Each structure stands twice: as C-alpha cells, then as structure tokens.
C-alpha cells in the first residue's frame, strides 16, 4: 500500500520544520510528503528544501482557502493510494508510520484516526491545554480513545483515508471549522468503516496563547451548530454540555453570593478535581493550576460559541458562519 502524508501550512515555517524533521526520523520508510502552502506570507518552501535529500517530498503554493480545501488540493496531487493528514503544529514519534501501516495491514479500514498527546518539551501552557482538550471533565469523552470503534470520527490533525473515500465523498468541505467532523460523518454515512489506532498518536502543540485558544474553541462551538444543520440528528446532549455549563456556573456563583455559599460547592468541587487530575497527570502543581484556567477558558469559549450560533442560526435563521475571521491568528 502506498502512503502520502499531506500537510497544509499557513505562516508556520518553524513548526513545519519540526514536523518534517520528525517524519525524516521515522523507523520505517515508504511514504511521500506533500506540503501545501495555503497563501502564506511566511513561506515554508526554504524549510522543505532542507529535507529534499531525506524525504520524498513535494511543495505546492496556492491561494488561501482554509485547511480543508488545501488538504483536498494535496490529495489530488498525492501519489499514494492512502493519504494521511497532519496539522503543521504536530510532531510524530519515530514509530508513528510503522504503527499506522501495521494496523491497516492487520485490520484494514478505509479511514482511521489517532489521538494526540503533549510532548515532554512542550511549555506548561501547551501541556495544560492538552489536558483540557483530552480530559473527560471537559470534553465528556467524545475525543480520542473514548469513542466506540466503528463510530469513531477521525480529526484532521491526525487522520487518514483511502483515495476511494476521497473520490466518493469529494473530500473536505469549505467549512473553516468542523470540516473534519463533517467529512467523518459523511464517510460513515456512505458505509465506510473507521477505526481509532490508539498507538498512532501525535504530539500536538495546539494554540500558544489563551487568546488564540479561546478563538479556536469558540469556533468549535459555532461549528457544532453548523454541523447539526448540515447533518440533522448528529447533535448530542454531550455536545451541548459546555453551553449548559456556561449558563449554570454564573447563576450558581450569583446565588452563592446572595443566598448561600453552598451554591458554590459544585463549582469549587469541579475546580478542585480538575486541579488534582491535571497535577497528577503532569506531575506539576503549576500545570495543574494552568489547566484549571485553560479548562474554564475552553468550556466558556465553546459554550459561548455554541449559544451564539444557536441564536443566530436556529432562531434567526442566519447563514453558516465562523467568528474572528480577520484576526484569528492574532
């Protein structure tokens, strides 16, 4: 089976270099790499040139269209019959490709996904964000290893599928956020099987500031409403949980100040549990404290985006949208 890695890039040459370096250190070869520059002003082409003698790599520059359509662009030009998509802010462990190819040879599916982790070299904030994005206390277990086999929805930071899937689905839509879940839903609706390859994890840096993290997760909340309108019936109670959290927590805090301090107990218990679990996982009190901040940033950002989109789209009937389009990367 021939494999192609496809990496859409937007103004991230330093991160792209780290990812390509990790690809050059894979314990097993036999793949090509396709880098698609999505209208960047900071070019990654000089970085790609550094790896010409270590990787079977190609580079393309195109007008900016967002990550989904850039992945399609790369897929159309890839030589492999199975394509693997990575975000440029990921780094691979040396056994990644060997794990993926071995798993697909043993139990072939037309699509797969893998989890993400925090690398030991990540900053404290990046480790805290990773905890927030993977903890059951913040995501309700809808990411990574908690999704059931056969119903797993691969995410585009670590996702692969066959050219047959690409031809049948048309690839990613023009959605700016939630485009990977949209595609995963369509893959399953067309009868293709997916699988989670737990050993095929990536080190995912995510956002490097709370401001950027808030914008990203806010748009995830917006995307969930957009996805429900594109695919009726896919919105589950767990998806609305952060919105309920966003509404209930302020009420509890007000009641604790006006009626009884006992109303604050659920919030304080949640804060303490987040702190204890994050501290234990990372063996760091500092990361534990940061994880409380990033977790509440995530919950409120997603909840606000969800509620705003619910009002605009489901109540007012407005068209599909995403937020912070002009300053998302600032």
Does the structure show a pLDDT above 70 at 237?
yes
C-alpha triplet 63, 66, 70: angle, nearest 5°: 70
- SS3 (DSSP) at 59: strand
Query: In this structure, what token pair is assigned to residue 122?
Result: 């990540």
Q: What is the pLDDT of residues 260-271, one digit of tens each?
A: 999 999 999 999
Does the structure show a pLDDT above 70 at 154?
yes
Query: Residue 169: which pLDDT band, with cuts at 50, 70 and 90?
Result: very high
Query: Residue 285: which pLDDT band, with cuts at 50, 70 and 90?
Result: very high
- SS3 (DSSP) at 304: helix
Is the separation of the CB atoms in 197 and 285 below 8 Å?
A: no
Residues 6+ apart with CB under 8 A from 197: 99, 100, 103, 112, 113, 114
Give CA–CA dist 121/18, Å, rounded: 12
Is the separation of the CB atoms in 233 and 316 below 8 Å?
A: no
**pLDDT for 255:** 95
**pLDDT for 327:** 45
The pLDDT of 287-316, averaged and rounded, is 96
The pLDDT of 74-98, averaged and rounded, is 96
Q: What is the pLDDT of residues 17-62, one digit of tens each?
A: 999 999 999 999 999 999 999 999 999 999 999 999 999 999 999 9
Distance of CA 262 to the CA centre of its chain: 37
The pLDDT of 115-132, averaged and rounded, is 91
**pLDDT for 118:** 87
Does the structure show a pLDDT above 80 at 107?
yes
- In angstroms, the Cα distances linking 110 to 34, 86, 154, 168 are 20, 17, 12, 11
Query: Residue 140: which pLDDT band, with cuts at 50, 70 and 90?
Result: low
Give CA–CA dist 197/96, Å, rounded: 10
Is the separation of the CB atoms in 83 and 73 below 8 Å?
A: no
Q: Which residue do the tokens 């007000």 mark?
A: 254
Give CA–CA dist 8/218, Å, rounded: 22
Is the separation of the CB atoms in 60 and 130 below 8 Å?
A: no
């Amino acid at each position: 089976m021939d494999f192609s890695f496809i990496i859409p890039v937007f103004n991230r040459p330093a991160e792209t270099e780290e990812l390509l370096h990790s690809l050059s250190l894979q314990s097993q070869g036999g793949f090509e790499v396709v880098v698609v520059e999505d209208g960047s002003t900071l070019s990654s082409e000089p970085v790609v040139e550094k790896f010409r003698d270590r990787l079977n790599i190609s580079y393309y520059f195109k007008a900016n269209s967002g990550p989904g359509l850039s992945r399609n662009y790369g897929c159309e030009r890839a030589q492999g019959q199975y394509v693997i998509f990575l975000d440029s802010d990921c780094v691979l462990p040396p056994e990644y490709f060997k794990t993926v190819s071995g798993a697909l040879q043993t139990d072939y599916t037309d699509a797969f996904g893998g989890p993400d982790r925090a690398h030991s070299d990540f900053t404290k904030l990046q480790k805290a964000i990773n905890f927030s994005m993977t903890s059951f206390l913040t995501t309700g277990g809808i990411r990574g290893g908690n999704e059931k086999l056969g119903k797993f929805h691969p995410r585009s930071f670590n996702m692969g599928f066959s050219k047959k899937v690409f031809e049948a689905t048309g690839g990613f839509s023009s959605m700016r956020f939630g485009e990977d879940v949209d595609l995963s839903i369509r893959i399953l609706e067309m009868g293709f099987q997916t699988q989670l390859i737990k050993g095929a994890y990536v080190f995912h840096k995510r956002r490097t500031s709370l401001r950027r993290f808030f914008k990203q997760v806010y748009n995830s909340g917006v995307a969930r409403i957009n996805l429900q309108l594109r695919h009726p019936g896919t919105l589950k109670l767990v998806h609305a949980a952060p919105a309920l959290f966003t509404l209930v927590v302020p009420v509890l805090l007000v009641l604790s100040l006006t009626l009884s301090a006992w109303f604050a107990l659920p919030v304080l218990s949640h804060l303490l549990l987040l702190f204890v679990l994050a501290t234990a996982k990372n063996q760091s009190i500092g990361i534990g404290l940061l994880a409380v901040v990033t977790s509440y940033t995530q919950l409120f950002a997603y909840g606000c985006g969800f509620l705003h989109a619910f009002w605009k789209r489901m109540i007012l009937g407005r068209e599909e949208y995403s937020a912070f389009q002009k300053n998302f990367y600032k």
